[in-house]
Amino acid sequence: MNPVIECVPNFSEGRDSSKIQLICKSIESISGVRLLHIDIGADANRTVVTFVGAPEAVCDAAFEAIKMASKVIDMQIHCGKHPRIGSTDVCPLIPIRDISMEDTVKYARKLAERVGNMLNIPVYCYENAAFVPERRNLAFCRKGEYESLKQKLSEQKPDFGPNVFNPKIAKTGAAIIGARDLLIAVNFNLNTKSKDTASLIASGIRERGKNNNGVKLKGIKAIGWYIADFDIAQVSVNITEIEATPLHRVFEEVVKRAGQLGVDVTGTEIIGLVPEKILLDSGRYFLSQAENENPANISGELLLKTAIEKLGLNDLSPFIPDEKILERKAKING
C-alpha cells in the first residue's frame, strides 16, 4: 500500500508573483510532496495550486502553505471576481490511490483542527469532512464571503479556531477545509464581453439555479464573469459529480444556451489538472457523433486530440497534455 492524496488549495492572491512564490516554496519545503501545477488568475485575484504525496506530508505542506498565505495576504485590501472568505479560501484533500474517503476525512479534520488551534484561523469543514449537513456545500460555508465574516462568526461558530472577529482574523479571514472527490474546474469562453449574458447561462446550467427549460445538470456550480485579461465573458463551472455529468455534456449545454442568447462558445479553459479519463470520454463522445466513426477502435491519443479540438482547449493558450493531465503530470497510475 502506497497511499496518495491530492491537495488543491485556492489562495486569494493572483497578482503579486512574489507572494505566490513564497506560498509555493512553503509547499515544496516538505519532503515527499510534489508540486504539480500552479494556476494564476489576475482578474479573479486567485491562485489554484495542485500537489500530491503521502497523506501526512500533504497535510504538513498544506499547513505550511496556509500559514504562509496568512502572513503575506491581507484580506482587508483584497478584491477579485471569485468568491472568497479568507487568504486560503478553500483547501480540499482528495483521495487518489490506496486510501479511502473515510480516512481522507480524518486527515482533513486533523488539518482543520491544527490550522484553527495553531494559526488561530477560523475553519469551516466542508464536503465529506463536514460535521453538519449544511456545511457539505461549499457555497453555504462561503456565503456572505469575507465581507460578512464578522457576523458569520457570531452566528455560525466555526468547527475550529476562534469565533471572535479580531485584528488577526481581519487580515487572514477564515478557511474552508475538507475532503472531496475529484472535480473539474473549467471556464467556457464566450464571444461577448457581457457578464450578464454569462451569468444567465450559468444560472441555467447549475443544479440549484433558475432553469426555465427544466434541464438540471447534476453536480454543477456555475457563475458568469468578465475577464479583462482576455477581454471576454466566461461561464465558470465546477463539475463536482464527474461521472454523473461529463465535461462534454456541460460543454454542449453551455453551447446550446449561449446560442439561444445569440453568442458562441469559442473554447474551454481547464483550471488546474484534469483526469485523463475525462478527456478520453469526451473524445469518444464527439467521435461517436461523427459518421463512419467507431470510437471503440480509436487510439487514446486520437481520442485526446479530438477532445482538445472539439472542446477548444487551445483557445486561450496551448493545451499541453503532459502539463494538464493529472496522471501524466503526477506520474501515477490508479
Q: Supply the residues annotated as catalytic.
A: 82
Give Cβ neighbours of residue 183 (< 8 Å, ≥ 6 apart): 238, 239, 240, 242
Site of grid cell 463522445:
285
Q: How many CB atoms neighbour CB 218 within 10 A?
A: 12
Is the Cβ–Cβ distance between 270 and 185 less than 8 Å?
A: yes
CA dist 304 and 302 (Å) reads 5
Is the Cβ–Cβ distance between 219 and 206 less than 8 Å?
A: no
Alpha-carbon distances of 299 from 171, 216, 295, 306, 307, rounded to whole Å: 52, 33, 8, 11, 13
Alpha-carbon distances of 105 from 33, 52, 176, 247, 256, rounded to whole Å: 19, 16, 13, 26, 38
C-alpha closest to that of 239 among 270, 267, 213, 261: 270
Site of grid cell 474551454:
268
Is the Cβ–Cβ distance between 198 and 225 less than 8 Å?
A: yes
Rg (CA), the chain: 20
Q: Tell me the residue length of the chain.
A: 334
Is the Cβ–Cβ distance between 300 and 280 less than 8 Å?
A: yes
Torsion, Cα of 137, 88, 15, 251 (10° steps):
-20
